[in-house]
Amino acid sequence: MPRTRKRRRGIDYLVFVTLRLVVAFAQALSIEQAYGLARFFAWLAYRVDRRHREVGLRNLAIAFGDRYTAAERDQIVREVYRHFCMMLMEIMHTPRSLHLTNWREKVVLVGHRPIMDHLMTADRPLIFLSGHYGNWELAGYLFGLFGFPTVSVARTLDNPYLERFLRRFRERTGQMMVAKSGGYDQMLGVLGNRGSLSFLADQDAGERGLFVDFFGRPSSTHKAIALLAIEHHARVVVGVARRIGPGFRYEIRCEDIIDPLELAGEPDIVHALTQRYTSALERLITQDPTQYLWLHRRWKHQPRARTRRPRPESALTVARAPETTMSEK
**What are the domain boundaries of the chain?**
3-291
The DSSP string of 105-152 is HHEEEES-HHHHHHHHH--S-EEEEE-SBB-TTHHHHHHHHTT---EE
pLDDT at site 166: 82
Q: For residue 18, give the amino acid letter.
A: T
pLDDT at site 4: 60
Tell me the pTM: 0.85
pLDDT along the chain (329 residues), means of 10: 64 89 90 94 96 97 96 98 95 88 92 70 86 92 83 87 83 79 89 92 93 97 95 94 92 93 94 98 97 96 71 38 36
Instruction: Decide: 150 and 144 in contact? Cβ < 8 Å.
Output: yes
pLDDT at site 313: 42
Q: For residue 24, give the amino acid letter.
A: A
pLDDT at site 226: 96
pLDDT at site 314: 39
Instruction: Decide: 177 and 144 in contact? Cβ < 8 Å.
Output: no
Q: Which backbone phi and psi does 87 adopt, to 5 degrees?
A: -60, -40
| Number of helices followed by number of strands (H, E) in the chain | 12, 9
Closest CA to 56 of 315, 314, 328, 299: 299
The DSSP call for residue 223 is S
Instruction: Decide: 176 and 197 in contact? Cβ < 8 Å.
Output: no
Q: For residue 19, give the amino acid letter.
A: L
Task: Tally the residues of the chain.
Answer: 329
Q: In angstroms, what CA-CA distances link 102 with 27, 37, 115, 136?
A: 19, 25, 21, 20
pLDDT at site 328: 39
Q: For residue 315, give the amino acid letter.
A: A
Strand order in the sheet with 151-154: 107-110, 250-258, 235-243, 126-130, 196-200, 151-154, 176-179
Number of C-alpha atoms within 13 angstroms, CB side, residue 109?
12
Measured distance CA(236)–CA(198) in Å, rounded: 10
C-beta neighbour count of 157 within 10 angstroms: 14
pLDDT at site 317: 36
Instruction: Decide: 295 and 52 in contact? Cβ < 8 Å.
Output: yes
Measured distance CA(182)–CA(180) in Å, rounded: 6
